[in-house]
């Protein structure tokens, strides 16, 4: 058995960010989480959502809260890269297209606030890049560097390296139960070990609700989280196509498609296998709901995503006309949603803070979300003077939440 001031359950972008912040504050910390499996098909443990090398990072958004969290995270990218020695940020710029009048008004309102921080969001009626084809009739918001994309694998490595340098310990295991004995929290592990601490950050990504239901003593009410499966497609590029697409911005855009509502594209990015890939993901009109661990693991281990290859390839080729790929591949992904479209950052019980439910936006802002969670845990109360606590409140019984 090991003991610490703080346990962080889950080492994705949020959990690693919370671990880094808590360790930097001087707390003795243990971060618990598995490594990325080498093979999805053979993996019998839990899965995460950060198994990728390209995610869009941007300030431009219709929600102030997401813009503010992104601002904090992006501002800290250079420091995190410098202190860890691990580069993960690619400032390629971003195009955000929308045909929704309410979204346009909301983005312009948020953009005025961003301008006070020196962040400029431009508005135009086309992509402004002949290599990108965006539908007619949309409004395009352009954000220059430092917007672009990040490598979440490398970003987490940078967070963890910085946390370890501050004294944090890593345990590569799965937490099977969280229990409070009246004095301390105990995390039981799948390898038979235990870790105890005064306080816990629960950042288990798409498995957070499963673990929340193990909380002891009962009864605890797990917050409302829903998990959906999505498919991403990558186009492996040769050297000539990499050169042609050099400097391509990241893109978010609505699409006219019976199955998909919108897409996001990440510019050519180096992957661990030595390839360079352009990536596209798409939001389905009818989500693939994955209501329990069995369904989530089956989605990640299976090949159901492969049936979407042709549709996603056509959407990619429509967005980037003339795209030439050596080969195309699909991959499954898990997204965790909340009713508020914002993450939960809240006490579930005394000394237990949840940080989860990022609606597909965790990677770019995960470090900042983790920092807010760590501050809440260490202070025992909401101390952020810019973000409203109520916006991040979990849907749980009021008597379980401290004032």
Q: Is residue 122 part of a domain?
A: yes
Same domain for 19 and 131: no
pTM recorded for the entire structure:
0.95
State pLDDT tens for residues 111-133: 999 999 999 999 999 999 999 99
Percent of the chain predicted with pLDDT > 70: 96
State pLDDT tens for residues 52-100: 999 999 999 999 999 999 999 999 999 999 999 999 999 999 999 999 9
Highest mean pLDDT among 55-59, 215-219, 392-396: 55-59
Q: Is residue 38 part of a domain?
A: yes
User: Which of 312, 337, 362 corresponds to the end of one domain?
Assistant: 337
User: Which of 292, 312, 337 corresponds to the end of one domain?
Assistant: 337
Show the 3-state SS of the chain. Answer: CEEEEEEEECCCHHHHHHHHHHHHCCCCEEEECCCCCCCCCCCCCCCCCCCCCCEEECCCCCCHHHHHHHHHHHHHHHHHHHHHCCCCEECCCEEEEECCHHHHHHHHHHHHHHHCCCCCEEEECCCCCCCCCCCCCCEEEEECCCCEEECHHHHHHHHHHHHHHCCCEEECCCEEEEEECCCCEEEEECCCCEEEEEEEEECCHHHHHHHHCCCECCCCCCCCCEEEEEEEEEEECCHHHHHHCCCCCEEEEECCCCCEEEEEEEEEEECCCCCEEEEEEEEECCCEECCCHHHHHHHHHCCHHHHHHHHHHHHHHHHCCCCCCCEEEEEEEEEEECCCCCCEEEEEECCEEEEECCCCCHHHHHHHHHHHHHHHHHHCCCCCCCCCHHHHCCCCCHHHCCC
**Domain coverage including residue 311:** 92-146+226-337
What CATH number is attached to the domain comprising 22? Answer: 3.50.50.60
Q: What is the mean pLDDT of the chain?
A: 94
If you average pLDDT over residues 258-277, what whole number do you get?
Answer: 97
State pLDDT tens for residues 340-360: 999 999 999 899 999 999 999
Q: Is residue 69 part of a domain?
A: no
If you average pLDDT over residues 40-48, what whole number do you get?
Answer: 91
Same domain for 140 and 267: yes
Same domain for 132 and 162: no
Same domain for 218 and 174: yes
Write down the pLDDT at residue 395: 67
Percent of the chain predicted with pLDDT > 90: 90
Write down the pLDDT at residue 2: 83
Q: Which of 147-151, 214-218, 318-322, 324-328 has the lowest mean pLDDT?
A: 214-218
Q: Is residue 84 part of a domain?
A: no
- Number of domains making up the chain: 2
């Amino acid at each position: 058995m090991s003991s610490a001031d703080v346990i962080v359950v889950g080492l994705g972008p949020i959990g690693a960010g919370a671990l880094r912040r808590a360790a930097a504050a001087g707390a003795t910390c243990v971060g618990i989480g598995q490594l990325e499996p080498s093979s999805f098909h053979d993996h019998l443990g839990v899965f995460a959502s950060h198994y990728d090398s390209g995610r869009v990072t941007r300030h431009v958004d219709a929600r102030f809260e997401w813009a503010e969290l992104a601002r904090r995270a992006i501002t800290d990218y250079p420091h995190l890269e410098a202190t860890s020695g691990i580069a993960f940020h690619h400032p390629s710029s971003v195009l955000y297209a929308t045909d929704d009048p309410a979204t346009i008004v909301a983005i312009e309102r948020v953009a005025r606030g961003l301008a006070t921080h020196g962040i400029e969001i431009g508005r135009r009626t086309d992509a402004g890049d002949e290599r990108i084809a965006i539908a007619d009739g949309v409004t395009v918001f352009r954000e220059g560097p430092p917007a672009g994309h990040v490598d979440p694998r490398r970003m987490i490595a940078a967070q963890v390296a910085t946390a370890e340098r501050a004294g944090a310990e890593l345990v590569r295991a799965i937490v099977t139960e969280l229990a409070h004995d009246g004095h301390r929290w105990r995390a039981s592990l799948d390898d038979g070990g235990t870790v105890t601490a005064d306080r816990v950050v629960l950042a288990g990504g798409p498995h957070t609700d499963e673990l929340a239901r193990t909380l002891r003593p009962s009864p605890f009410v797990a917050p409302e989280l829903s998990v959906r499966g999505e498919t991403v497609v990558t186009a492996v590029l040769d050297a000539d196509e990499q050169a042609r697409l050099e400097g391509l911005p990241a893109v978010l855009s609505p699409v006219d498609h019976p199955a998909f509502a919108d897409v996001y594209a990440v510019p050519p990015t180096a992957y661990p296998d030595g390839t360079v890939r352009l990536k596209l993901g798409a939001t389905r009109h009818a989500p693939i709901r994955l209501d329990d661990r069995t369904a989530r693991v089956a989605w990640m281990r299976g090949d159901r995503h492969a049936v979407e290859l042709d549709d996603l390839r056509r959407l990619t080729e429509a967005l980037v006309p003339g795209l030439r790929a050596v080969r195309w591949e699909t991959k499954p992904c898990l997204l965790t949603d909340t009713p508020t479209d914002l993450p939960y950052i809240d006490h579930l019980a005394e000394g237990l803070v949840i940080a989860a439910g990022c609606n597909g936006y965790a990677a770019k802002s995960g470090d900042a979300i983790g920092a807010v969670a760590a501050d809440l845990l260490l202070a025992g109360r909401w101390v952020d003077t810019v973000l409203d606590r109520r916006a991040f409140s979990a849907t749980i019984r009021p008597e379980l939440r401290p004032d």
